[in-house]
Amino acid sequence: MLGALLDRSLVQIADAAADARCFDRETIHMAADVWDNNTFPLFRAATAGTRGGRERRSLAALEWMAGLGEDRRTWMIEQAAAAGHSLDGLLTSGKPSTPGRDYLGQVMAPVMSLTAHAAESLAADYDLSSAEVRHLRIERAGSRLVGQLELAVTRSYPVDDGTPAESATLNIWLRDITEVRFDSDDARGAVLGARADGVSIALGARGILRAATADHCPDDRCWHLSSAGRQADATTPPRDTRPARGDFPQEGHLGANAMAAATVLHRAMLHVRMVRSPRHADRVPVRGFHRAFTGAGEAILAAGAHRLPHRREAAFRHLVETWVGRGGPALAKWFASELAETVHRPDLLVVLRDQDQPHPITGTSQQPTPNLATVPGPVEVELRMASYTSAHTRYGADHDASALVHLAVPPHPRNAENDPWRLRAMCGAGPARFQLRTAAFQGAGRPSVTADDKAARRFALHDGALDITRREG
């Protein structure tokens, strides 16, 4: 089962990165993140000496994996079914997400659905009329439109003396967005609404975000003093009485080659997971990693099934060398670094001797992220993500305003026409104005970059549906 889940993760990653026009950063991050805490339990289960030992270790690993949240449990059930397996009867029943307590025993805000009741509660606890947009990100996840909104909000409830004057932050995650209208010059004040047909967030005088559903979570060190916090405090058990999570599955010892295989796979998944950072998503060679590790789950189980230790170790050595060979020149530098410096097994790089010298990882920019004002034309591009961050101070540190876009760009003219489109991240520091409408995400278009006699540079797409202005100096 664990091997099948790993292979399903790799399939999801491959599908989500097959072409920049269907790039799904959320799915890639989620599928790779599973294996941060579960790669080594998979190898320990695969190398158990008996069938009973493998089943016992696998069940312990599955329970640990499912204990990391309801979203993770749901993913496991769905992907097991896609692989032709069922988890019915293998996992204990899930537990609903509830507020927790910090080390001081204060109740903490959980992630909650944005319902009509929640909207009323937020309006009572915070002065939403003075809320300011701190960050907005709208993004294509496959074909869906999703987003994140961060509002700096002033508390309406009394707080303890000595509480820092810094405002709280209200985080809202939107799914299946149907309408976007935002202007950074009109970003003060918010009205939250939720009805049977979806949620809406009015921003300023004319801005609006509409989506099918949304979740929210206040980032507020004083939330326990709010009306919602006091209600949660009354029903949340003390910190010491909450059932503890089971221990991390550590039964079993891995041989040197099995440990090397587990470590390099673990490091690869962590590298793929870096797409979570919007500024670095275009630098991660996701397709290259899938090419190298495709079928890894089944291969790990086959290598671990050898009963004689020396044959098992030989199988894992061959597996690592296979991964290195599949990675080819595009991943040679990465494998060389990881196997020599992290795994301390340069002997496993012998397969590279018959290949060209290591090249930089495919997809990694060798220059700083380009400025929006330098986007080439007249090639057509497709907007995959647009984000805006206002100038603000947080935790005593000043942050400048910035804009970031992800563009799907066609293959270079010298490449085959059927080559996949590539993802390109482009940032702009200190935008004077950022405007975004839903139409910016409606297919490919030709971007325009203009400059006026007042030293203002303007990047626009789809007749201004995305419009970013930056003043030089």
Q: What's the 3-state SS for the chain? A: CHHHHHHHHHHHHHHHCCCHHHCCHHHHHHHHHHHHCCHHHHHHHHCCCCHHHHHHHHHHHHHHHHCCCHHHHHHHHHHHHHCCCCCCCCCCCCCCCCCCECCCCCECCCCEECCHHHHHHHHHHEEEEEEEEEEEEEEEECCEEEEEEEEEEEECCCCCCCCCCCCEEEEEEEEEEEEEEEEHHHCECEEEEEECCEEEEEECCCEEEEEEEEEEEEECCCHHHCHHHHHHHHHCCCHHHCCCCCCCCCCCCCCHHHHHHHHHHHHHHHHHHHHHCCCCHHHCCHHHHHHHHCCHHHHHHHHHCCCCHHHHHHHHHHHHHHHHHHHHHHHHHHHHHHHHHHCCCHHHHHHHHHCCCCCCCCCCCCCCCCEHHHCCCCCCEEEEEEEEECCEEECCEEECCEEEEEEEECCCCCCCCCCCCEEEEEEEECEEEEEEEHHHHCCEECCEEEECCCCEEEEEECCCCEEEEEECC
**pLDDT digits 0-9 by tens, 287-327:** 999 999 999 999 999 999 998 999 999 999 999 999 999 99
Q: What pLDDT is attached to residue 68?
A: 80
- pLDDT digits over 118-144, tens only? 999 999 999 999 999 999 999 999 889
Give the pLDDT of residue 245. Answer: 59
| pLDDT one-digit tens code per residue, 400-431 | 899 999 999 988 765 666 789 999 999 888 89
State the pLDDT at residue 21. 94
pLDDT at 198: 96
Find all residues with CB under 8 Å of 219, minimum gap 6, and list them.
109, 168, 169, 170, 171
pTM: 0.85
Q: How is residue 197 written in tokens?
A: 């047909």
Please report, rounded to a whole number, the percentage of residues in the chain having pLDDT higher than 70: 89
Omega before 378 cis (within 30°)?
Answer: yes
* 154 confidence band (pLDDT: 50, 70, 90): very high
Q: Could you read off the pLDDT of 268-279 as tens digits, one per residue? A: 999 999 999 999
Helices 116-125 & 227-235, crossing angle to 10 degrees? Answer: 120
Distance of alpha carbon 444 from alpha carbon 258, whole angstroms = 46
The mean pLDDT of the chain is 87
pLDDT at 230 over 60: yes
pLDDT above 80 for 8 = yes
Return the percent helix, strand and coil in the chain, to nearest 5: 40, 30, 35
